[in-house]
Amino acid sequence: MKSPAHRTRDIERQAGYLRPEHCAPPPPRSGSDTMWFIRDGCGIVCGVITWFLVLYAEFVVVFVVLLPAKNVLYSLFNGVIFNGLAFLALASHARAMCTDPGAVPKGNATKEFIESLQLKPGQVVYKCPKCCSIKPDRAHHCSVCKRCIKKMDHHCPWVNNCVGESNQKYFVLFTLYIALISFHALILVAFHFVLCFEDDWTKCSNFSPPATVILLILLCFEGLLFLIFTAVMFGTQVHSICSDETGIEQLKKEERRWAKRSKWMNLKVVFGHPFSVSWLSPFATPDHGKADLYQYIVALTRQNDTHPCQCSFSNLSVQPHLQCMCTWTSIHYALGHAAATELYCKCGSCKALIGYSTVH
């Protein structure tokens, strides 16, 4: 019979055991002010196209639609709103592209580092064989970024970056503001078409009538596509945040091993705590505060014991409706500055989370 010992698991290939000494030492960490940027050709091209299309929409709205308008207040009001939203959209895009999405330190799965964790017998550390790093729970490896990303939702070529725990707010704001300026542009173009049909085309634009029509039609086509795409993406992201389940976790139907929180708490985890107007600002870095109640798993121990569900635990609040006599599974998380315990009912009829506690 083998003596219990901590294990290193390759969760990408399910290899059982790995030899951490095969990993190179982790590279020296650069300063915290170093800008994050992915050198991917496709992503860079998509990012440039995104900026070009937004600037094209600004050009048509300002120089074709608003400046020739006879009503100065109409032009000024819509010009301020459209350009303000366009500025916020581009700022959100830049933050989503140049913010570290939550990359796990690369190459830290060395023998020395694993020994420094001082793991107890039976504990497991997960390792990514591709970037040779200790892999936290809910992290996934991105083949484009070549890193493991915490709470990775997906890799978006339009922002040339992964959408993860640290930049999801900026990506959501980007989709929101693009959808708003697309909707606003479609309304302005529709009004402009009506005015030009009722009036002389040569008087409602500084360009020739054929050029004006072509510019407006292209803007309508762009605005409609952007509105549909970003509105759907915005709704998908909000649903993912409220359910606390990333796109990859939904696609893979991964087992939920983290504590369930309210939708409002999940929103505060992403956008910051407490609720304020900074939620809508791409320049404000989210302050998680008390909303960030969990950490990612570094070491995990599973213990199976037999206890009745109606037992009262001194450090846990047990759901009163769980009165079945069955076994429970306790999952202990070894965290950086805290410890947590979850109790799951192992009964085949419920398999519910019956308790959760965090000790700082």
Would you please indicate which residues are annotated as catalytic (active-site) residues? Answer: 156
Which one, of 325, 359, 317, 360, lies nearest residue 345 by Cα?
Answer: 325
d(CA 133, CA 140): 11
d(CA 264, CA 275): 10
Which two structure tokens, joined as six digits, stand for 339? Answer: 């410890």
d(CA 79, CA 53): 17
Strands 299-306 and 161-163: unpaired
Q: What is the DSSP string of 55-112?
A: HHHHHIIIIIIITT-S-HHHHHHHHHHHHHHHHHHHHHHHHHHHS---BPPTT---HH
Q: How many CB atoms are closer than 10 A to CB 162?
A: 29
Q: Give how far Cα 320 sits from Cα of 65, 258, 317, 323, 342, Å.
A: 63, 20, 9, 7, 16
Which one, of 308, 303, 304, 301, lies nearest residue 334 by Cα?
Answer: 301
Q: What is the DSSP string of 147-180?
A: EEEET--EEETTTTEEE-TTTHHHHHHHHHHHHH
Q: How many CB atoms are closer than 10 A to CB 291?
A: 20
d(CA 86, CA 36): 23
Peptide bond into 27 cis (omega under 30): no
